[in-house]
Amino acid sequence: MKTLITNTLILPMTGEGHTIRGDIGIDGNQIVFVGKGDPAFGADRIIDGSRHLTMPSLVNAHTHLAMVLMRNFKDGLPTLQAWLDEIFPIEDTLTAEDIYIACRLGIAELIQSGVTTFCDMYFHPSATIQAVSESGIRANLGLTLFGDGESSRKRIAERQAELLAARCHPSGRITLSVAPHAIYTCTTETYQIAHRWAADHDALLHTHLSETKEEVDRCRASYGLTPLSYLRSIGVTDSVKCLFAHGVHLTDGEVDLLGDLDCAIVHNPSSNLKLNCGIAPVASYRRRGLTVALGTDGASSNNNLNMVEELHLASLLGRLGSSLSAYEAVSMATIDGARALGLQDRIGTLESGKEADLIMVGLDKAHLTPLNDPISAIAYSAQSSDVDTVICQGKILMENRRLTGYDIDELIATTNARWAAILQR
């Protein structure tokens, strides 16, 4: 299948201030040209892009997708720990079927805000694998670990075969991580088991890090070290790529240390505000050379998976006391998200040879008029409802706001019925 998007305003995310008016050619799952069209291309499908801005689709680099089930549930608690104390008992009752139903709704919600790649940490990966495989979306899925070494070895024995098989999916849409939840829920041995698994399987190591001041204080009290220094001391950061969610309370020394590692920070501003964790100074991290991606965290601490809204919030918070530019904010949601997941050679920019993951943003809106600066428009003005068309690997997942793979009414009814049943357990 060859697709041609014509006469569109292209924001390729290959350099600040760089926009092009032109065509984009897609052959199969790949972009074959950007800007100047090829008269011999012979498109099977032509999309008029003249009233759209076309840019890379968004990367949600940290979420717990199935937590859509617990949206707007047990809100208003004062601390992360108080909230987790309410959430963990519910999670203990969830089945693979529950997770599958939740993931389908979550994927639809992601697509509606222009996301075609997400990085997940949750239970029952077989259910998430099934939902992702059916969807056409791209995911990094975590082998999630909690507790001591014995429970981690058991979980790996139960789950690794299905995850390793998923990575071999012919589409190449599924990549892997091992995801020890956090320092306060995992033992030293669990982190070391996770590190070994990441090294053996060339996977990311994805964990929550320095989300709250309380976490940092408890780590100092338990181990005499800050969280990153502790992970470093037990070998977790050696020779594997790490993805650290949050990083709200990093010391200057830790930021220096991160600069020497193969790693990225994922900024989750909505969740950090809602759970009273603080504001990660990500503009400063970027100035010091760190890769910073953007995520929604789970819908139960956000309370949605709207990456356009997350980008808007990150753009505004980045202006507080520092100077995050609109281009940097959009980079965090696109190419830097791809970089954080090790996918920067495949997605994150619009260039010939990359896979065709892109979105078309409708420009005929009062709040986008006059357009003046397209990057500012995306960072500060755009709404998720402006994302008209979403393409992943050349396949259209949403066209003119209509999801091609899902009946949204069916997803809503099924999820509501399942949540009511969960509450009766």
User: Which residues of this chain interact with Zn ion, rule CB under 5 A?
Assistant: 297
Smallest distance, Å, CB 361 to Zn ion? 28
Residue nearest to Zn ion (CB): 297
Smallest distance, Å, CB 387 to Zn ion? 24
Q: How far apart are the first and last CA of the chain?
A: 48
Are 116 and 58 in contact, with CB atoms under 8 Å apart?
A: yes
C-alpha torsion sign, points 77, 78, 80, 86? negative
CA distance 6 to 82: 52
Smallest distance, Å, CB 394 to Zn ion? 31
Closer of 276 and 352 to Zn ion (Cβ): 276
Of 178, 82, 191, nearest in space to 147 by CA? 191
| Cis peptide bond upstream of 370, omega within 30 | yes
Smallest distance, Å, CB 297 to Zn ion? 5
Smallest distance, Å, CB 221 to Zn ion? 23
Of 154, 212, 147, 204, nearest in space to 179 by CA? 204
Closer of 136 and 247 to Zn ion (Cβ): 247
What is the 3-state secondary structure of 29-44? CEEEEEECCCCCCCCC
Closer of 297 and 355 to Zn ion (Cβ): 297
Q: Which two three-digit tokens encode residue 261?
A: 């590692």
Smallest distance, Å, CB 266 to Zn ion? 9
Are 279 and 324 in contact, with CB atoms under 8 Å apart?
A: no
Closer of 182 and 361 to Zn ion (Cβ): 182
Closer of 84 and 382 to Zn ion (Cβ): 84
Closer of 216 and 387 to Zn ion (Cβ): 216
Q: Which two three-digit tokens encode residue 406?
A: 């899902």
Closer of 32 and 279 to Zn ion (Cβ): 279
Smallest distance, Å, CB 123 to Zn ion? 13
Closer of 83 and 230 to Zn ion (Cβ): 83
What is the 3-state secondary structure of 356-396? CCEEEEECCCHHHCCCCCHHHHHHHHCCHHHEEEEEECCEE
Beta strand spans in 256-355 (E): 263-267, 291-294
Separation in Å, CA 81 to CA 230, 261, 269, 275, 305: 21, 29, 18, 9, 22
Smallest distance, Å, CB 246 to Zn ion? 7
